[in-house]
Structure 1
Amino acid sequence: YPRSSRPGHMMIEESIGTAAIAELERRGHAVEKAPAWTVGRLTAAERGDDGLLRAAATPRLMQAYAAGR
């Protein structure tokens, strides 16, 4: 809080490279480009079709955790 959910949205640093960004867009991702080293403290989680919860947190900047139940 006060963050909102944006399903299908992806913010990615331009330093990943134009080829990678173009491929993500080609695959249908709604990509928002950000300058290098500006995206931090991100977490992501998904529950797969098999019911397994997968999560990740960035090691940059402050502490970040990914957890679920």
Structure 2
Amino acid sequence: MGMTIAVYRINPETGERTQLREKHTVKPLAVIETDSRLPPCSCPRCVGGIIRLRATLTEVNRRSRGEL
């Protein structure tokens, strides 16, 4: 059993319904995902932030060990 969705606009004065998007049916997944975590972000801003964080942590660790 799938899910069907359509988008309508309702005129508040007349109650007339105007269809904005055609009906679309989505088939259910064959295997239900049990993991609710979101995938890691791969945008340049986040990826660049992770690289900077790793570089900063590496530098801090080297300083704490007296390597710099």
Q: Please confirm whether the aligned pair reaches a TM-score higher than 0.5, indicating the same fold.
A: no
- Which category describes the TM-score, using the shorter chain as reference length? under 0.3
- The normalised TM-score by structure 1 is 0.20
- Larger-gyration structure (1/2): 2
Larger proportion of helix:
2
